[in-house]
């Protein structure tokens, strides 16, 4: 009879704050807004939304990826009409990389952001959400290449939690009141770890600030135009609305990408997508169990079609593999592979995480995508990484910095380079470093999914966790970094020095003049 709910209700009435405590006792209404059509991003969001539904909350998800077997309380509102970015990137695009590639990538993201914003604002899925009666307790949205969805959150008047499936972008720090420090935080698009030489820091400083300003000058007004077209001109700029982001969940972990200074409203959830292991298919299990010399896994992720590799590169890999004692499993999207050696197995799809954690797997050849990189960190497997675009460079640099990875540049792929990179990664040093990272990746005070659910409930129950919001969010960056103080100090110091110089010149100058006069 005195169930916790009744007790809470009683308490609530006694304390005269019925709404909040009754809400605290019941399931939350949670909305997920995921306009970007990249499936690898959704692999970070889905476990959180599903976990909330399993915890009994009422979850509505607007995305391109409806769940085929949704759990109870998980309702999809599918977006349609934008090509999903899976298996869609042709490797020829990466043959020629230059310094300007980062900026080309920015413009690619900017265009995608505009398209996904436009499509989502016009979608039937969003109309259904806006028509639904009752309000949401919390909105969870991706913050990536557009802040368009902040307009929707403003309309729905609910607290916002942002998710980022990669490390934070340069434009994400200010809104959380976090310091943006290019001396040790590598920009997402740069191939650097936290240890940079002077040239690297100079380039990182330039890239970080340039991208931040490009975002403010291009992406924010583009989103504003579409949001205001949809909801009217009294909606504030999304550049202002993002300051209302209550929390930021980011797919990184210090064990891999290095510790960063962030306020407590930024939470690291790296590896949240890694599920309990499932039994392997029998054929794979026997290949792995019987590999006395170990196994090398080659997989370049969901976005890149391996059979668009040039013939020379493909043959280079094949010839290198033929010289190895190890067995090699390659995610290869074709029935056949010319000159396939006997120690090589090709598969169109493979359970990457379960293979990686098999004790016989010695090296993972990867494109440095964050999901695969996290799985390698989790299972403790050294990586030969071939980064191609986006955050893959910064992930690879982190692997190298931690001593568990080596780079094989895409343009260098050939028999001897592949051989050399694999030999290097098979060294015991790499194995030990990978195991050390794996230990820290595993041992946390609380599982990532429980951490996420705890904070979502906290944000909902406190109406946006206002106590967690740093006052720095409202400061200009000029004040935030004390540049005004430095400026005043410089003026005061300058005046003191100037007056000393003036005094010295005057008295000594005049005494010298008097001396000559007397002589
Ligand atoms: C948004 O989409 C509509 C129809 O698909 C198109 O006519 C319009 O030009 C687009 N707006 C922008 C800003 O891209
Ligand atoms: C900021 O979020 C709170 C809820 O957390 C909401 O009440 C408020 O209206 C939002 N402000 C704007 C400008 O949207
Ligand atoms: C992939 O398979 C198709 C036929 O299914 C074939 O025409 C093509 O040449 C193959 N490509 C490679 C790189 O093996």
312: domain CATH number? 3.40.50.2000
* Residue (of 346, 378, 304) closest to 40 by Cα position: 304
Q: What are the residues whose beta carbons fall under 8 Å from the beta carbon of 388, sequence distance 6 or more? A: 89, 91, 94, 304, 367, 368, 410
* Residue (of 186, 250, 257, 261) closest to 437 by Cα position: 257
Q: Are 10 and 26 in contact (CB under 8 A)?
A: no
214 occurs within a structural domain: no
460 and 493 in a common domain: no
Higher pLDDT, 406 or 505: 406
Q: What are the residues whose beta carbons fall under 8 Å from the beta carbon of 240, sequence distance 6 or more? A: none
467 and 319 in a common domain: no
Q: What are the residues whose beta carbons fall under 8 Å from the beta carbon of 163, sequence distance 6 or more? A: 44, 45, 48, 140, 141, 142, 143, 248, 249, 250, 251
Residue 335 C-alpha to ligand 3 middle, in angstroms?
8
The distance of Cα 190 from the centroid of its chain, to the nearest Å, equals 14
344 and 265 in a common domain: no
Ligand at shortest distance from the CA of 121: 1
Residue 106 C-alpha to ligand 3 middle, in angstroms?
33
Beta bridge partners of 249: 163, 267
Whether 480 has a pLDDT exceeding 90, the answer reads yes
Q: Which atom of ligand 2 is nearest to the CA of 464?
A: 5
Closest residue to atom 7 of ligand 1, CA basis = 118
Q: Which atom of ligand 3 is nearest to the CA of 338?
A: 14
429 and 513 in a common domain: no
Q: Are 364 and 301 in contact (CB under 8 A)?
A: no
* Ligand 3 pocket residues where CB is under 6 Å: 307, 334-336
210 occurs within a structural domain: no
319 and 251 in a common domain: no
307 occurs within a structural domain: yes
Whether 184 has a pLDDT exceeding 80, the answer reads yes
Q: What is the pLDDT, as a whole number, of residue 14?
A: 46
Residue 156 C-alpha to ligand 2 middle, in angstroms?
9
Residue 234 C-alpha to ligand 2 middle, in angstroms?
14
pLDDT band at 166 (very low <50, low <70, confident <90, very high): confident
Sheet holding 344-347, edge to edge: 344-347, 327-331, 295-299, 361-366, 383-385, 405-407
Beta bridge partners of 297: 329, 364
3-state class (DSSP) for residue 494 = helix
pLDDT band at 23 (very low <50, low <70, confident <90, very high): very low
Q: Are 460 and 138 in contact (CB under 8 A)?
A: yes
User: pLDDT tens digits, residue range 288-343?
Assistant: 999 999 999 999 876 667 767 888 999 999 999 999 999 999 998 888 888 899 99
Residue 25, φ and ψ in degrees, nearest 5 = -85, -30
84 occurs within a structural domain: yes
Residue 172 C-alpha to ligand 1 middle, in angstroms?
27
Residue 159 C-alpha to ligand 1 middle, in angstroms?
29
Beta bridge partners of 245: 160
Burial class (CB in 10 A: 0-12, 13-18, 19+), 462: middle
Range of 488's domain? 482-518
195 occurs within a structural domain: no
Q: Probe ligand 2: pick from 464, 466, 467, 474, max atoms within 8 Å of CB? A: 464
From CA 422, how far away is CA 382, in angstroms rounded?
Answer: 10
Q: What are the residues whose beta carbons fall under 8 Å from the beta carbon of 460, sequence distance 6 or more? A: 23, 28, 30, 137, 138, 159
45 and 168 in a common domain: yes
288 and 368 in a common domain: yes
Tally of domains in the chain: 3
88 occurs within a structural domain: yes
Q: Which atom of ligand 2 is nearest to the CA of 246?
A: 5
451 and 360 in a common domain: no
Q: Probe ligand 3: pick from 318, 336, 337, 339, max atoms within 8 Å of CB? A: 336
* pTM reported for the whole predicted model: 0.86
* Residue (of 245, 184, 179) closest to 212 by Cα position: 179
Closest residue to atom 10 of ligand 3, CA basis = 334
Q: Are 193 and 395 in contact (CB under 8 A)?
A: no
Residue 443 C-alpha to ligand 2 middle, in angstroms?
36
pLDDT band at 391 (very low <50, low <70, confident <90, very high): confident
User: pLDDT tens digits, residue range 224-268?
Assistant: 999 999 999 999 999 999 999 999 999 999 999 899 999 999 999
User: pLDDT tens digits, residue range 395-415?
Assistant: 999 999 999 999 999 889 999
26 and 169 in a common domain: yes
* Residue (of 395, 274, 369, 331) closest to 40 by Cα position: 369
Q: What is the pLDDT, as a whole number, of residue 18?
A: 40
* Residue (of 388, 394, 393, 391) closest to 411 by Cα position: 388
Residue 475 C-alpha to ligand 1 middle, in angstroms?
35
Write the DSSP symbol of residue 75. E
Which residue reads 């033929």 in tokens? Answer: 322
142 occurs within a structural domain: yes
From CA 47, how far away is CA 140, in angstroms rounded?
Answer: 13
From CA 29, how far away is CA 73, in angstroms rounded?
Answer: 10
Residue 315 C-alpha to ligand 3 middle, in angstroms?
14
Ligand at shortest distance from the CA of 116: 1
Closest residue to atom 6 of ligand 1, CA basis = 118
Closest residue to atom 13 of ligand 3, CA basis = 307
369 and 240 in a common domain: no
Which residue reads 């997920």 in tokens? Answer: 32
* Ligand 2 pocket residues where CB is under 6 Å: 154, 157, 159, 236, 241, 244, 463-464
> Residue 408: left (phi > 0), alpha (psi -120 to 50), or beta?
beta
pLDDT band at 506 (very low <50, low <70, confident <90, very high): confident
* Residue (of 292, 271, 291) closest to 283 by Cα position: 291
Radius of gyration over alpha carbons of the chain, in Å?
Answer: 27
What percentage of the chain's residues is helix, strand, coil (to nearest 5)?
50, 10, 35
Higher pLDDT, 40 or 360: 360
From CA 390, how far away is CA 382, in angstroms rounded?
Answer: 21
Q: Which atom of ligand 1 is nearest to the CA of 222?
A: 13
Burial class (CB in 10 A: 0-12, 13-18, 19+), 240: middle
291 and 348 in a common domain: yes
Closest residue to atom 14 of ligand 2, CA basis = 154
Ligand at shortest distance from the CA of 91: 3
Residue 322 C-alpha to ligand 3 middle, in angstroms?
21
Burial class (CB in 10 A: 0-12, 13-18, 19+), 42: buried
Ligand at shortest distance from the CA of 335: 3
212 occurs within a structural domain: no
Q: What percent of the chain has pLDDT over 70?
A: 88
pLDDT band at 185 (very low <50, low <70, confident <90, very high): confident
From CA 298, how far away is CA 408, in angstroms rounded?
Answer: 13
Q: What is the pLDDT, as a whole number, of residue 7?
A: 47
156 and 32 in a common domain: yes
Residue 270 C-alpha to ligand 3 middle, in angstroms?
37
Q: What percent of the chain has pLDDT over 90?
A: 71
């Amino acid at each position: 009879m005195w169930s916790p709910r009744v007790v809470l209700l009683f308490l609530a009435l006694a304390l005269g704050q019925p709404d909040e405590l009754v809400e605290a006792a019941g399931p939350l209404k949670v909305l997920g807004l995921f306009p970007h059509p990249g499936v690898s991003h959704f692999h970070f969001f889905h476990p959180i939304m599903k976990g909330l539904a399993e915890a009994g909350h009422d979850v509505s998800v607007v995305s391109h990826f409806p769940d085929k077997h949704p759990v109870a309380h998980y309702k999809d509102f599918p977006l349609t009409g934008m090509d999903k970015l899976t298996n869609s990137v042709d490797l020829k695009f990466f043959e020629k990389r230059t310094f300007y590639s980062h900026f080309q990538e920015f413009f690619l993201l900017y265009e995608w952001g505009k398209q996904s914003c436009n499509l989502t604002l016009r979608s039937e899925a969003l109309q259904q959400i806006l028509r639904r009666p009752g309000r949401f307790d919390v909105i969870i949205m991706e913050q990536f290449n557009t802040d368009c969805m902040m307009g929707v959150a403003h309309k729905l008047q609910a607290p916002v939690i942002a998710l980022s499936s990669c490390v934070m972008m340069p434009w994400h720090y200010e809104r959380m009141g976090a310091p943006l420090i290019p001396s040790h935080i590598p920009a997402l698009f740069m191939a650097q770890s936290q240890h940079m030489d002077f040239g690297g820091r100079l380039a990182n400083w330039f890239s970080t600030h340039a991208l931040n300003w490009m975002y403010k000058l291009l992406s924010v007004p583009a989103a504003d135009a579409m949001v205001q077209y949809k909801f009217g001109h009294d909606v504030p700029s999304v550049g202002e609305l993002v300051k209302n982001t209550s929390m930021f969940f980011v797919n990184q972990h210090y064990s891999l990408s290095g510790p960063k200074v962030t306020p407590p409203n930024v939470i690291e959830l790296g590896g949240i997508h890694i599920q309990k292991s499932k039994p392997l298919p029998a054929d794979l299990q026997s290949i792995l169990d019987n590999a006395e010399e170990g196994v090398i896994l080659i997989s370049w992720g969901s976005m890149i079609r391996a059979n668009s590799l040039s013939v020379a590169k493909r043959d280079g890999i094949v010839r290198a593999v033929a010289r190895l004692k190890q067995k090699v499993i390659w995610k290869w999207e074709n029935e056949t592979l010319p000159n396939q050696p006997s120690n090589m197995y090709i598969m169109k799809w493979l359970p990457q995480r379960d293979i990686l954690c098999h004790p016989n797997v010695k090296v993972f050849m990867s494109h440095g995508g964050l999901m695969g990189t996290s799985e390698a960190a989790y299972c403790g497997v050294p990586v030969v990484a071939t980064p191609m675009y986006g955050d893959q460079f910064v992930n690879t640099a982190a692997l190298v910095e931690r001593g568990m990875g080596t780079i094989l540049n895409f343009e260098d792929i050939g028999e001897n380079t592949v051989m050399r990179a694999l030999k290097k990664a098979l060294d015991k040093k790499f194995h030990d470093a990978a195991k050390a990272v794996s230990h820290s990746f595993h041992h946390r005070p609380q599982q990532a999914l429980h951490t996420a659910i705890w904070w979502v409930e906290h944000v909902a129950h406190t109406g946006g966790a206002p106590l967690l919001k740093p006052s720095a969010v409202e400061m200009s960056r000029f004040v935030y970094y004390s540049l005004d103080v430095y400026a005043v100090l410089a003026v005061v110091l300058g005046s003191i020095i100037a007056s000393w110089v003036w005094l010295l010149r005057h008295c000594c100058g005049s005494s010298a003049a008097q001396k000559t006069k007397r002589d």
